[in-house]
Amino acid sequence: MEVRVSEIYPEAGINFPISYKFQRILRTELNLLSPKFEIPFQAKHGKEYALGIILSAKSNLSTLLIKGPSISRKYKVVDYVLYIPFELMSDERSFIANYVRIVCEGIDDIIARYNNEGISAEKEVLDKLLIEKQSEYLESD
């Protein structure tokens, strides 16, 4: 089973300074975790479907909002959108920690829909790994 990660920002001026490299690191780590939810996911959607995680932002949110699933029979993907509150940008010192924490919480929630335990045991490790690698994916001016 494949896990795909992408970003889309539908509101003008509402985005995060995170490069595509974050998606790549996150995708690699989630593909390593996929055995935790692969069997129930495939039982529900079929072996040919991939799990899609779409990172987005909204200006009027104060907490994470998860939309989905949206199922594409054409592309064989089951997409969930994580709408991350744009207010994270207000405190630049803790931006990365907050961003990573919210992304990991959203992923845990999505995976828990397929196995009741989510990735709770791995969430802290994933969180630390993503924070440690922040120099690789933060966009520089």
pLDDT at 141 over 50: no
Provide the CATH number for the domain formed by 3-137 in this structure: 3.40.390
pLDDT at 96 over 80: yes
pLDDT at 128 over 90: no
Average pLDDT over residues 16-36: 90
Res 46: pLDDT = 95
pLDDT at 91 over 90: no
Task: Provide the mean pLDDT of the chain.
Answer: 89
Q: Where are the domains of the chain?
A: 3-137
- Please check whether residue 18 is in contact with residue 130, taking contact to mean a CB–CB distance below 8 angstroms: no
Higher pLDDT residue, 19 or 137? 19
- Sheet bearing 3-7, strands edge to edge: 3-7, 50-58, 77-85, 65-72
Average pLDDT over residues 23-44: 92
Res 70: pLDDT = 97
57-83: pLDDT as tens digits:
998 999 999 999 999 999 999 999 999
pLDDT at 30 over 80: yes
Higher pLDDT residue, 100 or 90? 100
